Amino acid sequence: MDKLIVIVGPTAVGKTALSLALAQAVDGEIVSGDSMQIYRQLNIGTAKATPAEQAQTPHHMIDIAEPTETYSAARFVQEAQQAIAEITARGKVPILVGGTGFYVQALLGDKPLAAVDDIQDDAFTEKWTQIAHDEGEVVLRDALRKVDAVSEARILPGQIRRLVRALLVSDHTGKPFSEQKPEPQRLYDAFIIGLTTDRQVLYERINQRVDAMMTQGILAEAEIAMALPADSTARKAIGYKELFGYLTGDESLEQATETLKQASRRYAKRQMTWFNNQFTDIHWFDLVQQPSEITDIKEAVKRFMSE
């Protein structure tokens, strides 16, 4: 079983910096596990590694799709697995860096994808997404509970797309979505590093990141996102849709900026809940308040690679 280093954690916690440090320490190459960094042109809002950072070590699964493309988790798993295999074949160490928990789990094999992932019905999806928006998430949850109470209980609050997806598959197959997934099977010998810090410290880092994004030109990227078709995944990315109100003249720049900060903080909270609930083998570190722990991480990774 091939070895894989995995770095997870909420936005703005320092995953990119750690990945670069580890890549230098163990001769590694970086594989993005972020569902939005795959899109070209959308760089600032997705917090991609900068060109200078990407020049330090090879990066994979970044800028591989147009914003207008529909990009599935199944496609991500297939292409990321190929990248990891090629990195390993070159004698390098693959380092998966992710903020999108489901993508990371699917790649590891913890959340294996099944044939039902090919089921698509845009009209059904749009209908229930709109219902959730207009009438509230509770209406969507009630509908799912009637056909798949297990999935309804498992899916975290705010995960509208997963709720709609579970309802779609249950409705179209006549069998609960929760009963259609194969058994998990870890596909890699993975050493999972989780980065965390005090919540208020993280929130302040997020606020500072948003301020920096505003000066770096995120509004130009938001204009690109707003021009995409309404059902485009990239158009719904946190970091862009919160700025649409300013671009349409309905909000002040100050209001839109605060909306983005709030959405980013809430997203970070959901990420932490996800990683805490879904992974049992994470090695947690706080590099924000205890930067010296990076030495411990490097030593732990080197021991893992030598085993």
Whether 9 has a binding-site annotation, put simply, is yes
Identify residue 287 by its one-letter amino acid code.
Answer: L
Q: Cβ contacts of residue 279 below 8 Å, gap of 6+?
A: 8, 110, 192, 194
Please, are residues 76 and 100 in contact by the beta-carbon 8 Å criterion? no
Whether 12 has a binding-site annotation, put simply, is yes
SS (H, E, C) the chain: CCEEEEEECCCCCCHHHHHHHHHHHHCEEEEECCCCCCECCCCCCCCCCCHHHHCCCCEECCCCECCCCCCCHHHHHHHHHHHHHHHHHCCCEEEEEECCHHHHHHHHCCCCCCHHHHCCCHHHHHHHHHHHHHHCHHHHHHHHHHHCHHHHHHCCCCCHHHHHHHHHHHHHHCCCHHHCCCCCCCCCEEEEEEECCCHHHHHHHHHHHHHHHHHHCHHHHHHHHHCCCCCCCHHHCCCCHHHHHHHCCCCCHHHHHHHHHHHHHHHHHHHHHHHHHHCCCEEEECCCCCCCHHHHHHHHHHHHHHC
Whether 259 has a binding-site annotation, put simply, is no
Whether 273 has a binding-site annotation, put simply, is no
Angstrom distance (rounded) from CA 192 to CA 96: 9
Whether 11 has a binding-site annotation, put simply, is yes
Whether 173 has a binding-site annotation, put simply, is no
Q: Which of 153, 73, 152, 75 is nearest to 105 (CA)?
A: 73
Whether 15 has a binding-site annotation, put simply, is yes
Whether 17 has a binding-site annotation, put simply, is no
Annotated binding site: 9-16
Annotated binding site for ATP: 9-16
Annotated binding site for substrate: 11-16
